[in-house]
Amino acid sequence: MEQQAYAEINRLYFKDRAAARRRVDDLVPRPPRKAVPAGDVLAAAPGASGHAVGQAPVRR
């Protein structure tokens, strides 16, 4: 039963997260990540907060 496998992984997660992730990947492999070339635009993008690293956020 497929749900039984996930119940076992859930129990494993609280003991060993990396091992639980590997078990999930064995059941449902993740698609491969796309390589991002060095110096790409994403590397210079601001953080999720909307401001650059080291810059104080502006309160409005």
The pLDDT tens digits of the residues spanning 36-59 come to 666 655 555 555 555 555 556 666
Q: With respect to residue 1, please indicate whether it lies within any of the assigned structural domains.
A: yes
The alpha carbon dihedral of 47, 53, 59, 60 has a sign of: negative
Our count of domains for the chain comes to 1
Q: With respect to residue 4, please indicate whether it lies within any of the assigned structural domains.
A: yes
Q: With respect to residue 42, please indicate whether it lies within any of the assigned structural domains.
A: no
This prediction's pTM: 0.45
The alpha carbon dihedral of 7, 12, 13, 19 has a sign of: negative
Q: With respect to residue 56, please indicate whether it lies within any of the assigned structural domains.
A: no
The SS3 call for residue 3 is: helix
Q: With respect to residue 21, please indicate whether it lies within any of the assigned structural domains.
A: yes
In the chain, the amino acid numbered 43 is A
Q: With respect to residue 52, please indicate whether it lies within any of the assigned structural domains.
A: no
Domain with 23, as residue range(s), is 1-30
**Residues whose CB falls within 8 Å of the CB of residue 42, separated by 6 or more in sequence, listed in order:** 36
Query: Over 60: is that where the pLDDT of 60 sits?
Result: yes
Q: With respect to residue 45, please indicate whether it lies within any of the assigned structural domains.
A: no
Q: Which pLDDT score is estimated for 9?
A: 92
Q: With respect to residue 12, please indicate whether it lies within any of the assigned structural domains.
A: yes
Q: Which pLDDT score is estimated for 22?
A: 92
Over residues 3-35, the pLDDT tens digits come to: 888 899 999 999 999 999 999 888 887 778 777
